[in-house]
Amino acid sequence: MTQVWQWTAAQTATAVRNKDISATEVTQAHLDRMAEVNPKINAVVQQFPDEALSAAQKVDQAIARGVDPGPLCGVPVTIKVNVDQAGHATTNGLQLQENLIAEADSPVVSNMRKAGAVIIGRTNTPAFSMRWFTKNNLHGLTLNPRNKAVTPGGSSGGAAAAVAAGIGAIGHGTDIAGSIRYPAYACGLQGLRPTLGRVPAYNASAPDRLIGAQLMAVSGPIARSIADIELSLMAMSAPDLRDPWHVAAPLTGGEFPKRAALVIAPDGMPVDDEVKAALRLAADQLKDAGWTVDEVRGPPMRRAAETNACLWMADTQLAATAMIEKEGDVEAQFVFEQMSNDAGDVGQEELMSALQTRVSLMREWDMFLQDYPVLICPVSGTLPFDQQQDVQSPEGFAALYEAQLTQRAVPAIGVPSLAVVMGETAGRPNGVQLVGPRYREDILLAAGAVIEAASGQPKAVDPNWG
């Protein structure tokens, strides 16, 4: 019999709603799973079992009264430690914020609660949420349950590692340069970066974000099925007046042409043969399902990635340089130095130019995505990186940074993108990235469901690598 922690969110919500199992029993099963496997992978770094069981009991009580708790009825979820959850520290992987206790839930947390989800823990992120690897001086190193020699990704590496190991059906993540899509890819899962403004965001524990983060950072789900991505997006995207950027756009946008563009090596980025093979296989799977797929050059990625770097570093150089020094995380300092060298000093002229370029790029991308509602491209130019590969040398970081071109480009445009797993190659997860028009996540989910049906839905694994 399938273990409860292997169930999808959709299966769990249905079973709890139908009283086949109680939310309390589901939560306890996941807490037991956490106790079993989390010491091996260090994905969940803040635990509160009594609070989780109390929330589950409230779900059961609502059902007993004949009240539907919501679409995530009794589903165990995790929240990343860089967003506010009342009563817990918003550490963002920093010793400096170890005691920064949130007084109120962020919108994404309150939306998950209102949807009936049960929060069972908070997941690790690198210091400042600034790497595609997950390690910091406060919470330590997170391992990938599928292969401990491989990064679990970052910055939402704890979220992805937890879901891959069966600690919760849905992991909340954030993404400003791939921090949802890359951990999903590295841990063999599905991960959605929603359209800018789709999921409301706000941390009362900190000052409002500067312009780069306002225009590029989003929250979104990591899960083991496309159906769960859709279900969690429905929950996360409920309106909240605390975020002026939020747009209450419908989650479905009507009919669309089943036409996709295949872009093997965007703007000439290096792409390994194993990744190219996955891209061509995904294209064939869509063709078999009745889609038209054309191999094309695609819209600009490199200028978009450069715009991302300018906007992000404008924020970081202004607001976080002193904190990065004070925190004393040498790996974060190294990564920040490499990223700053790439972007250069960003002053007013550079920032204004980047904002102007962004509008031009958005126009060009919007026109392309009108013709091709799905763009198929690499999540990364290589299979998932070795653990700690980014801090070995400046030359190694530069090569890694280039491999992540698509991760860095998409946020600058503000469009949604979906990482879809396609099994493993040489013991490492492999997959593709789908990019679509603004507020048309439904198109990406439809295409992702085709690929998932052909490639197989990922399952939770035991981290039994010794």
Number of domains composing the chain: 1
pLDDT at 1 over 80: no
What pLDDT, in 10s, does the model give residues 75-116?
999 999 999 999 999 999 999 999 999 999 999 999 999 999
Q: Does some domain include residue 466?
A: no
What pLDDT, in 10s, does the model give residues 299-318?
999 999 999 999 999 888 88
Confidence of residue 2 (pLDDT cuts 50, 70, 90): confident
Q: Is 156 a catalytic residue?
A: no
End-to-end, the C-alpha distance of the chain in Å comes to 25
Q: Is 179 a catalytic residue?
A: yes
Residue 177 has what pLDDT?
A: 98
pLDDT at 431 over 70: yes
The beta strand positions in 92-201, using DSSP E, are 118-123, 135-136, 140-141, 170-175, 190-193
Q: Does some domain include residue 79?
A: yes
Q: Which of 22, 110, 129, 155 is catalytic?
A: 155
Q: Does some domain include residue 359?
A: yes
Q: What percent of the chain has pLDDT over 90?
A: 97
Q: Does some domain include residue 463?
A: no
Q: Does some domain include residue 204?
A: yes
Residue 403 has what pLDDT?
A: 98
Q: Does some domain include residue 344?
A: yes
Mean pLDDT of 269-289: 98
Q: What percent of the chain has pLDDT over 70?
A: 100
Segments forming the whole domain that contains residue 362: 4-455
What pLDDT, in 10s, does the model give residues 244-255?
999 999 999 999
Confidence of residue 190 (pLDDT cuts 50, 70, 90): very high
Q: Does some domain include residue 461?
A: no
Mean pLDDT of 448-460: 98
Residue 465 has what pLDDT?
A: 78
Average pLDDT, the chain: 97
pLDDT at 466 over 80: no
Q: Does some domain include residue 462?
A: no
CA Rg value for the chain: 20
CA distance 177 to 423: 24
Cβ–Cβ contacts within 10 Å for residue 124, how many? 31
**CB–CB of 102/87 below 8 Å?**
yes
Sequence-separated (6 or more) residues with CB below 8 Å from residue 234: 71, 115, 251
What pLDDT, in 10s, does the model give residues 318-331?
888 999 999 999 99
Residue 412 has what pLDDT?
A: 98
Q: Is 80 a catalytic residue?
A: yes
CATH code: domain of residue 377: 3.90.1300.10
CA dihedral 361, 364, 369, 375 (to 10 degrees): -60
Q: Which of 179, 205, 380, 455 is catalytic?
A: 179
Q: Which of 22, 80, 219, 232 is catalytic?
A: 80
